[in-house]
Structure 1
Amino acid sequence: MKSSGRSCCGTGKPANKNRAARSDTGLAEIERLGGEKVLSRAVPEEAELAAQSKRYHALSDPLRLSILYILKDQPLCVCVINRFMRISGSKLSYHLSILKESGLIDGECQGNWIIYSITETGKKYVQ
């Protein structure tokens, strides 16, 4: 089989005919929808992508998910969270800080205690 001399994106790199036909259809569809500008509008701004990445990182750990679930119904102080989680204070502090930095929980000082609560954003991830 002789190469058409085109790649799927028209760079001149050889591609087989079937692949070229499929890509031409894909490129035509992209152009029909408005081209690359339309595709780029589907991608959030870099700041929003960074915030989403932080949230997904925070959600990727079972301990942090457990914390979100126990905060789902009511705010709790660190001592209650720690009693439930049964992990060292430093490890709990680490996980709470990741959840807080990602915007999934808030902490409010009340005297010597910090009371943690789930944010509206956090509630979207625990149902």
Structure 2
Amino acid sequence: MTKDERYQDASLPLPPGVEESLCRCGGIAGLVEQLPDDTIFEQDCGLYRVLADPLRLKILAMLAVQPLCVCVIKTVLDIADSKLSYHLSVLKKAGLIAGDQQGNWIIYSLTELGSEWVSGHGK
């Protein structure tokens, strides 16, 4: 049995309101067709894992105020260099921040994705 056949053969006892609206959208198969591709959910889960750490959220909040060098971020968070480096690396890999080398310093700022996330869920 194919996935489409399984969705079409599904006969579930449903509350009247749910059954009517489900019929209007094409049944279970129609509902499934309207869902985003599974890769979207996987990408979102990855982003939420990155954002599940309070230190990383605080870094994003700080960079929403202004771009900052590592020394300022380290002073505010009061954490070891290695721990800060790890968190910045995770945020950078997720595409939420970018680092710009300026002489001896790396200045971190939000990317477009980082700005969108902060403004949507923000401060």
Question: Which band: TM-score by shorter chain?
Answer: 0.7 to 0.9
1:30 shift after superposition: 1.5
For structure 1, the residue ranges without an aligned partner over 5 or more in a row are 1-8, 12-19
1:101 aligned to 2:77?
no
Is contact 1:55–1:102 with CA below 8 Å preserved after alignment? Answer: yes
Q: RCO (CA 8 Å, sep 6+): is it higher in 1 or 2?
A: 2
Give runs of aligned pairs for residues 80-91 of structure 1, distance below 5 A.
80-91=72-83
Compute the displacement of 1:64 (Å): 0.7
Report how far residue 25 of structure 1 moved: 5.4
Q: Report what 1:45 is aligned to.
A: 37
Q: Which moved more, 1:101-110 or 1:60-69?
A: 101-110
Residue 58 of structure 1 deviates from its aligned partner by 1.6
Distance in 2 between residues matched to 1:45 and 1:21, nearest whole Å: 26
Q: What is the deviation of 1:47?
A: 3.2
- CA RMSD after TM alignment: 2.3
Does the residue aligned with 1:72 lie in a helix, a strand or coil?
A: helix
In structure 2, the CA distance between the partners of 1:30 and 1:21, relative to structure 1 (3 Å rule), is closer
| Percent identity (aligned) | 45
Shift of 1:102: 1.8
Q: Name the SS for the 1:55 alignment partner.
A: helix
Q: C-alpha distance in 2, partners of 1:62/1:99?
A: 12
Q: Which residue of 2 aligns with 1:55?
A: 47
CA spacing shift, 1:72–1:50, aligned 2, 3 Å: same
Q: Aligned pair count?
A: 110
Matched, 1:74 2:75: no
> Cα gap change, 1:55/1:79 in structure 2, threshold over 3 Å: closer, same or farther?
same
Instruction: Mark the runs of 5 or more structure 2 residues left unpaired by the alignment.
Output: 1-9
Cα gap change, 1:27 to 1:21, in 2 (>3 Å): closer
Query: Alignment partner for residue 57 of structure 2, among 53, 60, 65?
Result: 65
Counterpart of 1:82 in structure 2: which amino acid? K
Point out the structure with the larger helix share: 2
Larger Rg: 1
Distance 1:108 1:39, change over 3 A: farther
Q: Name the SS of the counterpart of 2:79 in structure 1.
A: coil
